[in-house]
């Protein structure tokens, strides 16, 4: 990717799950809308449905309860069961400044899922991290 | 207040300042709004602690407050930590429901590359 050279460093998180690597990859991608815990970035409510189209160039998108579709990103690598990678721009126009790479690796008793978010500094206040928006709002309230 | 946050010009001002420190004039030349409007946006962003002002000679430069970047990092970091914890819970439950192995979830923050 060549993005490692950029500052600041990417954000990386990982988790262990008690499933085979194939099952983990399938649940992560097909089940995205079921496990995604955050409110819709578009309307502040839980997304009704989130879909990752399972091919390179496929769309990552959400559909809200009111039926609106919002694009979150585009799949740039689809390598089951090892890796899925997509651009990430919820709440913003399409750009490739931010990418999310999810690596799946077999480990004892299951699979390790490692997520790396490159270019997160471009997320700004429009990020789906609703808590950041709340944080900024609090800062503004304090400042006023 | 939340309406102020969703102001697209203000988001663009933050985006431009992420690229480099700029004067009001620099920003106005890259935005479809007047200098007074840019000044007003900067005033709000500065009051919120997101932007700092620095005087160089007779010119006033605005830049992103580095602390706000650290805060952003912390918040996105916790967003992904929560998201992955939710995924692990979901995956382990799905597997358990199908009569396979079931176990505890655990998350850990890996060391950040530098």
Rounded Cα gap, residues B45 and B39, in angstroms? 10
The separation between CA B2 and the C-alpha centre of its own chain, rounded to angstroms, equals 15
> Which CATH number fits the domain that encloses residue A110?
3.30.530.20
Percent helix, strand and coil across chain B, each to the nearest 5: 60, 15, 25
Residues A90-143 have pLDDT tens digits of 766 666 678 999 999 999 999 999 999 998 877 754 444 444 444 454 444 444
Task: Establish whether this prediction's ipTM goes over 0.85.
Answer: no
A44, part of any domain: no
Rounded Cα gap, residues A134 and A125, in angstroms? 9
A48, part of any domain: no
User: How far apart are the CA of A57 and the nearest CA of chain B, in angstroms?
Assistant: 23
A123, part of any domain: yes
User: How far apart are the CA of B17 and the nearest CA of chain A, in angstroms?
Assistant: 11
Rounded Cα gap, residues A102 and B101, in angstroms? 23
A1, part of any domain: no
Residues 6 or more apart in contact with residue B83 via CB below 8 angstroms: A36, A37, A38, A115
Q: Which domain holds residue A119?
A: 11-36+77-143
Residues B35-45 have pLDDT tens digits of 999 999 999 88
Rounded Cα gap, residues B13 and A11, in angstroms? 24
Query: Which residues does chain A have within 8 Å of residue B113's beta carbon, measured at their own beta carbons?
Result: 4, 9-10, 12
A128, part of any domain: yes
A59, part of any domain: no
Give the helix ranges, DSSP H, for A32-92: 32-35
Please report the pLDDT score of residue B14 as a whole number: 82
Beta carbons of A31 and B85 less than 8 Å apart: no
Please report the pLDDT score of residue B104 as a whole number: 42
Beta carbons of A17 and B87 less than 8 Å apart: yes
A18, part of any domain: yes
A65, part of any domain: no
Section B44-57 average pLDDT: 86
In terms of Cβ atoms closer than 10 Å to its own Cβ (0-12, 13-18, 19+), residue A49 is: middle
Instruction: Tally the domains of chain A.
Output: 1
Rounded Cα gap, residues B85 and A55, in angstroms? 26
Please report the pLDDT score of residue B68 as a whole number: 76
Chain B residues 29-88 within an 8 A CB cutoff of chain A: 44, 47-50, 69, 71-73, 75-88
Confidence of residue B97 (pLDDT cuts 50, 70, 90): low
Residues 6 or more apart in contact with residue B5 via CB below 8 angstroms: A125, A133, A136, A137, A140
């Amino acid at each position: 990717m060549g993005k490692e050279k950029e500052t600041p460093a990417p954000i990386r998180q990982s988790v262990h799950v008690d499933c085979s690597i194939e099952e983990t990859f399938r649940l992560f991608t097909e089940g995205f809308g079921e496990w995604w815990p955050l409110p819709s970035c578009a309307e502040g409510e839980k997304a009704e449905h989130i879909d990752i189209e399972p091919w390179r160039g496929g769309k990552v998108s959400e559909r809200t309860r009111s039926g609106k579709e919002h694009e979150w990103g585009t799949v740039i690598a689809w390598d089951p069961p090892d890796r899925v990678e997509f651009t990430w721009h919820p709440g913003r126009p399409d750009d490739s400044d931010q990418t999310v790479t999810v690596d799946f690796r077999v480990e004892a008793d299951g699979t390790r899922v490692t997520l790396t978010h490159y270019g997160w500094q471009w997320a700004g206040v429009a990020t789906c991290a609703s808590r950041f928006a709340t944080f900024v709002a609090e800062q503004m309230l304090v400042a006023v | 207040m939340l309406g102020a946050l969703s102001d697209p010009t203000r988001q663009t001002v933050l985006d431009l300042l992420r690229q480099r420190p700029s004067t009001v004039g620099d920003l106005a030349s890259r935005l479809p709004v007047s200098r007074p409007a840019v000044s007003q946006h900067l005033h709000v962003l500065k009051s919120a602690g997101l932007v700092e002002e620095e005087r160089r000679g007779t010119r006033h430069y605005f830049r992103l407050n580095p602390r706000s970047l650290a805060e952003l990092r912390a918040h996105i970091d916790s967003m992904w930590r929560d998201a992955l914890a939710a995924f692990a819970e979901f995956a382990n439950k799905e597997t358990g429901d199908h009569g396979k192995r079931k176990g505890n979830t655990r998350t850990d923050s890996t060391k950040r590359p530098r």
